[in-house]
Amino acid sequence: MLPQKKAVAVVKVVQKKADLTKDKRVLAAQELGKQRHNVIQVLKYTNASPIRRYNDAGYLCCFCTQQYKDPADLKAHTAKEHNKTIEQFMKGVGLTAFSVKLDITNLKCKICDATIEKLEGIYEHLSNAHEIPFHVGLKNHILPFKFNDENLRCTACNTIFGSFKSLQEHMYRHFGEHACDVCGSQFMNAQMVRHHKPKHLKGSFACSNCAKTFDTARKRNSHERSVHVDAIRMNKCSLCNEKFKHYHTKMLHLKNVHGRASQFPCQSCNQSFATWARLSQHIRKFHLMLQTFKCAYCEMSFGNVAFLRNHMVAKHNGYT
């Protein structure tokens, strides 16, 4: 049994830790309220439109289950159907997971119809021109997208990407303010950092598609994306998770089973085609001859630096 003085000291330490935990929760709740307030002000006073996420079926609405292939259709749907439900935006989501994807294509102020080019300009214009209140000094949790043409471009540097996922991951570098303390990679919230950090743990990580093993999960994941891309990304139905041997078989499944339009998107430039044959013809004509990024350790060449980087991890243990 502990002496009375030591017992009292232990109780005080436990109480102090409990108080600190409570204080952190209170501060997190307060910051979350401020983050939501800022986003709601943007949605109320501009034509910016939130995107829940993107998958093979299209862009998903933040307020209901509707999804659209064309982000412009999602923007029109949100303006028409959810103008009165903006106050409910992101309710029930904690601060560690708070992250907002905003379509700011042709961004305009609803009050004066002024055109606004960048995310930062939204706060500046609404605050200065219309005295709309915003909380300042907060970490950025907004990822802004523009869909001005058929290409998926970064709004910060205009780099073009072949998929929405690769564009989104790239944009974390520009807009994310939550950093991994191991590699310095940026993310939009603390939950993304926690999900990312196990990739740095040393061990034995086996590929789920072949017999290869890697010393980090990050190298294993890069190998799977580059070598087994058909198995883990292109040939899995996003609506029912059924897997297919061939990509075009999956697209036919989407059309016949789920009623989705038969579109075959090019993974290099994001153009879409009505048939698999036309997509194949396009790839042969425009992409197979553009292998300009050469590997320094073997004879292989690639169409962009991301494919080269994945190859280096998968085949040459990550050497660059």
Give the per-residue pLDDT at 291.
54
- Going by pLDDT thresholds of 50, 70 and 90, the confidence category of residue 268 is low
Global pTM reads 0.57
Question: Is the confidence at residue 55, as pLDDT, over 70?
Answer: yes
Lowest mean pLDDT among 39-48, 66-75, 211-220, 292-301: 292-301
Give the per-residue pLDDT at 85.
76
Give the per-residue pLDDT at 28.
76
- What is the rounded distance in angstroms from the CA atom of residue 101 to the CA atom of residue 119? 12
Over range 275-281, report the average pLDDT.
69
Lowest mean pLDDT among 50-59, 78-87, 232-241, 248-257: 232-241
Task: Report the chain's mean pLDDT, rounded to a whole number.
Answer: 78
The secondary structure of the chain as a DSSP string is ---HHHHHHHHHHHHHHHHHHHHHHHHHHHHHHHHHHHHHHHHHHB--EEE--EETTEEEPSSSS-EESSHHHHHHHHHHHSTT-GGGTTTT--GGG--EEEE-TT-BBTTT--B--SHHHHHHHHHHHH------SPPP-EEEEB-SSSSEE-TTT--EESSHHHHHHHHHHHH--EE-TTT--EESSHHHHHHHGGGG--S-EE-SSSS-EESSHHHHHHHHHHHSHIIIIITB-TTT--B-SSHHHHHHHHHHHH-----EE-TTT--EESSHHHHHHHHHHHTTT---EE-SSSS-EESSHHHHHHHHHHHHTT--
Q: Which residues contact 137 (CB under 8 A, 6 or more apart)?
A: none
Question: Is the confidence at residue 48, as pLDDT, over 60?
Answer: yes
Question: Is the confidence at residue 179, as pLDDT, over 60?
Answer: yes
Whether residue 122 contacts residue 38, with contact meaning beta carbons closer than 8 Å, is answered with no
Smallest CA-to-CA distance from 231 within 207, 258, 213 is with: 207
Lowest mean pLDDT among 33-37, 75-79, 85-89: 85-89
